[in-house]
Amino acid sequence: MSALVEQVTTELGQLQLPRQELARGVDALRTLGLDPYLRQVPEQGGLTLLPQAVQQLAPGHDTTGLSQALGLDTEASEADLQREIWLALLATPLQQSFPSFAELAAAVRMRVNIVHAARKTALAFQTSVAERPAGLWTYARETGFTVQPGCSLIDALERATQPERSGQLYDFSCYRATEYVILLAIAQEAKLHHPALYARLQLQSERRAVMSGRFHDVFLRELGSTEAPLPPAYYVPGDRVWFRNPDPASSDVSGYEGSWVFYLGQGLFCNFWKRDQPFTLRSKCVEIYHWRDAVYLDAEGEPRIDEARVTEHVQRTLSDARATEAVLATMLRLRDPARQYLDGGCIDRTRESPRWVCPGSSDIQLPDA
């Protein structure tokens, strides 16, 4: 991987629990056979990786090769997916505090839910069109797409995003799709372990859509910051990830400002348009780079991207090792701040995941329920 110019967080952090619950975390890891990699910091209620485990599994906080290092198959085995999630969390470069072991376990389960749903999600791509399954959703300008009263929130979300459930693909943005996948994961967890929260989620979804910046504020927590960015290859399965398009011209094309995806584990990121062709970090960066080479004006004079030309450029670049490295030298830099196009690449400084959801500690505050 190309070296970054920017300073990133490189120290090893900890998962922190109340001291009296540390043993529960150790037991969970032992059940999965991960205790040989574990270092306990009892005086701080901390769990982290042993130094030799870091070198073996996540050198330089690069977690994209973790499954390969251990021979995990996270598609065939849910236990392997849980192992990758736990180990990537333990490789955290920052302190992550949980109010209870129950919240940490819920966070792992929601990440499992996100990965499962992201693998199944497929969309049509019309940036000027928005649609949802009839009979389950309704639209009003003031409230957005809401779930019909009496229809299950979980069923409505699955049918909007998973063609096996609905029989067709629906048109909406990758950003909105990530919101639906996250909300689905939270709803599935709440229905099993916090029914009162699930009831409020159902009511909120019937009254008003929580979208965009408000969705982020209500449902998500962010790890890392502009001042203390995460290492460029540190990802935990279930992370919501933003890849920015650093080219000012092609980023003006609607739908090509960047790409919102989930990290699936095993070094792969979801592809909502061709879900059987997930991206690696390298291929995702190369794809976004070549958007600049495929801009054209349609009959109305609006800028568009020719996806066939993008595919041609990507295939040509990936078949040439030197060309690939030249592109990655640009793209594997941390992205510039919003509205700036200087020397940054497409790598975000933060990762996003769901807030706490357990009874007594949930910090999800719904605006209308």
Mean pLDDT of the chain, nearest integer: 92
Q: What's the pLDDT at 171? A: 87
Q: What's the pLDDT at 128? A: 55
Structure tokens belonging to residue 64: 């994209």
Please name which of 283, 276, 262, 275 lies closest in space to residue 81, comparing C-alpha atoms: 262
User: What is d(CA 108, CA 113) in angstroms, rounded to the nearest whole number?
Assistant: 9
Which residue pairs, CB below 8 angstroms and at least 24 apart, start in 46-53? 46/14, 46/15, 46/16, 46/22, 47/14, 47/15, 47/16, 47/17, 47/22, 47/90, 48/12, 48/13, 48/14, 48/15, 48/90, 48/92, 49/12, 49/87, 49/90, 49/91, 51/12
pLDDT tens-digit series, residues 168-218: 999 888 899 999 999 999 999 999 999 999 999 999 999 999 999 999 999
Q: What's the pLDDT at 12? A: 82
User: What is d(CA 239, CA 245) in angstroms, rounded to the nearest whole number?
Assistant: 19
Q: What's the pLDDT at 5? A: 35
Q: What's the pLDDT at 6? A: 42
pTM of the model: 0.94
C-alpha dist (Å) from residue 57 to 69, 95, 193, 325: 6, 19, 32, 24
- Which residues does the chain have with pLDDT short of 50? 1-8
Which phi and psi (to 5°) does residue 324 adopt?
A: -60, -45
Q: What's the pLDDT at 3? A: 34
Radius of gyration of the chain (CA): 21
Contacts of 171 (CB under 8 A, 6+ apart): 123, 124, 125, 126, 129, 130, 131
Q: Where are the beta strands (DSSP E) in the chain?
A: 15-16, 38-41, 46-49, 96-97, 137-140, 144-147, 220-223, 240-244, 258-265, 268-269, 295-297, 303-305, 351-354
Q: What's the pLDDT at 204? A: 98
Q: What is the dihedral of CA 40, 43, 45, 50, to 10 degrees?
A: -20
Our CA angle for 263, 264, 270, nearest 5°, is 75
Q: What's the pLDDT at 343? A: 74
Q: Could you write out the three-class secondary structure of 61-84?
A: HCCCCHHHHHCCCCCCCHHHHHHH
Q: What is the dihedral of CA 142, 155, 263, 356, to 10 degrees?
A: 70
